[in-house]
Amino acid sequence: MKLAFSTLGVPGLPVPDVLALATAHGYHGVELRAHPEEPVHPGLSPAERAEIASQFKAAGVEVLGLAGYTRVAAPGDDAPVLDEIRQLLQLAHDLGAPFVRVLPGADPDLPPEESDAIAARRLGAAAEDASALGPRILLETHDSHRTGADAIRVLGPVGHRQVGALWDVMHTWLGGEQPADSFAALAPHLGYVQVKDIASADDTSPLPLGAGVLPLTECVDVLCRNGWDGWLCWEYEKRWYEAAAPLPELLDAGRDHLVRLLGEAA
């Protein structure tokens, strides 16, 4: 498997510095947080996009994906949601990224079946844009749809190869789902896996990998036993937890921990 980290862990860091971290610490790729407060976002000009793509190529680092914030199950009109996804897909295409992340974001006051239908309808429509541009749209296990069982209620009806799943191992654990069950649900759709660690269900402040309670060993084991060879991306949520230790000083140990888990699973 290839290893990446998310720029959520280094808020606002310029792209050249992100690439320097990736190369210095042995990561194959980077997940870029696509937000206006970050260096990479849909408002970039064609020249700026070309420059970033060139910098990644020169460094020998891959753009794993763009972590967008579109909430595909949220109530409201479809048009603004689809426009957001199209902008992310175009940016991913321009940067050579194979994946775009979207979130569920359903209204808890709506019946789940209604929210599932909203999300499936929008993802089905956006799948045509994804087919034309190349990147896959990945629905993350998150918020209203935090388990694999939740996600496939949407992905099953969509039934399109350009729409898949992003497995965030914290959210499936918080949802009470075992790693083997998460993988079984998501495997036909799985784009990549986000790993992280936390102290408890009540304290989700980011910790170094292996220092918390998340079942990373079990997650890696089930992936390896089933012959899955995609990406593991460390999503260290420094942006939301200012008191957390700086990610750069943790990158070596995090890489070593994942490599050790992969070796043991093999």
Give tens-digit pLDDT for 85-138.
999 999 999 999 999 999 999 999 999 999 999 999 999 999 999 999 999 999
For the chain, how long is the longest CA-to-CA vector?
49
Report the distance separating Cα 132 and Cα 222, nearest Å.
33
Q: Is 189 left (phi over 0), alpha (psi -120 to 50) or beta?
A: alpha
Q: Mean pLDDT throughout 14-20?
A: 98
Global pTM reads: 0.98
In angstroms, the first-to-last Cα distance of the chain is 11
What pLDDT is stored for residue 234 in this prediction? 98
Spatial distance between the Cα atoms of 123 and 19, rounded to a whole number of angstroms: 32
pLDDT digits (tens, 9 = 90+) for 201-259: 999 999 999 999 999 999 999 999 999 999 999 999 999 999 999 999 999 999 999 99
Q: How far is Cα 89 from Cα 264, in angstroms, rounded to an integer? A: 37
CA pair distance 29, 204, nearest whole angstrom: 25
> What is the rounded average pLDDT of the residues 181-197?
98
User: By C-alpha distance, which of 206, 193, 187 is closest to 262?
Assistant: 193
Report yes or no: 215 and 257 within 8 Å, Cβ to Cβ: no
Take residue 186 and report the two structure tokens written for it.
């998501």
Q: Which of 75, 230, 110 is nearest to 165 (CA)?
A: 230
